[in-house]
Amino acid sequence: MSSSTELRTEEMLLNVGPQHPSTHGVFRLIVKIDGETITEAIPVIGYLHRGTEKLAENLNYTQIIPYTDRMDYISAMSNNYMMVHTVETMMGLEIPERAEYLRVIVLELQRVASHLLWFGTYLLDLGALSPLLYAFVDREKILAFFNELSGARLTYNYMRVGGVKWDAPEGWIEKVKEFVPYMRKQIQDYHTLVTGNEVLINRLKGIGVITQEDAINYSLSGVLLRSTGIKWDLRKDEPYSIYDRFQFEVPTETAGDCFARYKIRLREMEESLNIVEQAIEQFPKEGEIMAKVPRVLRTPQGEAFTRIEAPRGEIGCYISSNGKDKPYRIKFRRPSFANLQVLPKLVKGQNVADMVAILGSIDIVLGEVDG
């Protein structure tokens, strides 16, 4: 055999994305594969960068709110709240009770909606077609609630500095109240339909294991952090809004793998429903939905950073102000972006199918990654 016909093997460079059904948007991953084993993965981001932070420097605080909708468009309510919360903290505003309860109800419903979307698309990534449709039916019910409140299904623009824009229409609270037990039953259905599936467990157990050390070093937050056994939830550990008034558990797992994250997300939905139920019980019959705020919002000179627990992790907002009605500099701590950094480490040595499972379990939204 001459040398030119000798068998040789080489690594293949594979471009996953930016147009790929499992990257959940315009995320690109350059992977080196040896057979089906990934030897190296380089994430490339920025295809959806819109420069929200820079744009915000020329907008007043109320005008920034719709821009936050478009960062994490799967859970726009949390983003709305994250921004107004920082401004309120800087201005030292007192928020009316009714507005606080409305905020908590929509924030927790949003968490359920966000996790539902994750549940459906994640199983679609794993090759199961039906759960997506089931999850979407239930998510649609929540979106209908938001639609009644704010007139939008995804980009709500609902929160305002000092309260919320619209009061709950008549009968809305009752409808949400009926929804809670319905949704609990649905989650049980998901468990019987999906969780026990042998194929699913084999696909997820022991895949994409994150250690506690890594989780902290990579600054992971949210479900990724809690899947390693660290009990850290800002709603409990640094309560904001009125979260200290509710009884709820912070679900954790110790395995740190994809299955742990799957279980935590499903349990978080139940806990969110518990919070919604309690909030509805305590909901004040009447009252203002907006605090007395000046016509032109001016933050005092100085800086502030506040963070909240969004469905995808800790979302934070830093504002540096020179006393004008526009921020001098605004910076968002975007959990999808921070969480995504661990991906190259997790997929190394795994095969292509596991890469999809791991990327899905991180739960990124590209609007948030790229900012």
Partner 1 sequence: MGAYIEQSLGLTNSLVFILSAAALLGIVLGFVTYSIYFQRKILGWMQLRIGPNRVGPLGLLQTVADVLKLLLKEDIIPKAADKPLFIIAPIIAFMPAFGVLAVMPFTESIHFADVGVGLLYYIALSGITVLGVVTGGWASNNKWALIGAMRSAAQMISYEIPLVMSVVGVILMTGSLNLIDIVEKQKEMGMWFFIPQFLGFIIFIIAQLAELSRTPFDLTEAESELISGYLEYSGFRWAFFMLTEYVYIFAMASLTTVLFLGGWLPPFEFLGFIPGIIWFGLKFLAIVFFIFWLQATFPRMRVDQLMQMGWKVLLPLALLNILITAVLKTVL
352 interacts with partner 1 by CB under 8 A: yes
124 interacts with partner 1 by CB under 8 A: yes
86 interacts with partner 1 by CB under 8 A: no
Question: Which residue, 130 or 217, has its beta carbon nearer to partner 1?
Answer: 130
Q: Of the ranges 153-161, 195-203, 244-252, 254-262, which one interacts with partner 1 (CB under 8 A)?
A: 195-203
204, 223, 235: which is closest to 307 by C-alpha? 235
Contacts of 313 (CB under 8 A, 6+ apart): 220, 221, 222, 223, 224, 225, 335, 336, 338, 339
Distance, in Å, from the CA atom of 13 to the CA atom of 39, rounded to the nearest integer, reads: 10
The answer to whether the beta carbons of residues 272 and 249 sit under 8 Å apart is no
Q: Which of 30, 44, 59, 128 binds partner 1 (CB under 8 A)?
A: 128
12 interacts with partner 1 by CB under 8 A: yes
Contacts of 295 (CB under 8 A, 6+ apart): none
Q: Of the ranges 47-55, 59-67, 217-225, 350-358, which one interacts with partner 1 (CB under 8 A)?
A: 350-358
- The minimum distance between CB 248 and partner 1, in angstroms, equals 30
Q: Which of 88, 354, 363, 370 binds partner 1 (CB under 8 A)?
A: 354
- The minimum distance between CB 89 and partner 1, in angstroms, equals 42
127 interacts with partner 1 by CB under 8 A: yes
For the chain, give percent helix, strand, coil, nearest 5: 50, 15, 35
Distance, in Å, from the CA atom of 21 to the CA atom of 128, rounded to the nearest integer, reads: 14
How does 12-51 read in b/e, with b if 16+ C-beta sit within 10 Å?
Answer: eeeebbbeeebbbbbbbbebebeeeebeebebebebbeee
Residues 309-348 binding partner 1 (CB under 8 A) are none
The answer to whether the beta carbons of residues 305 and 317 sit under 8 Å apart is yes
Q: Of the ranges 55-63, 78-86, 124-132, 150-158, which one interacts with partner 1 (CB under 8 A)?
A: 124-132
Residues 18-37 binding partner 1 (CB under 8 A) are 20-22, 36
Degrees to nearest 5, angle at CA 358 with 365 and 36 = 125
Question: Which residue, 91 or 258, has its beta carbon nearer to partner 1?
Answer: 258
Binding mask 203-222 for partner 1 (x = CB under 8 A): x-------------------
Rule CB under 8 A: which residues touch partner 1? Answer: 12, 14, 20-22, 36, 123-130, 133-134, 137, 197, 199-200, 202-203, 351-354, 356
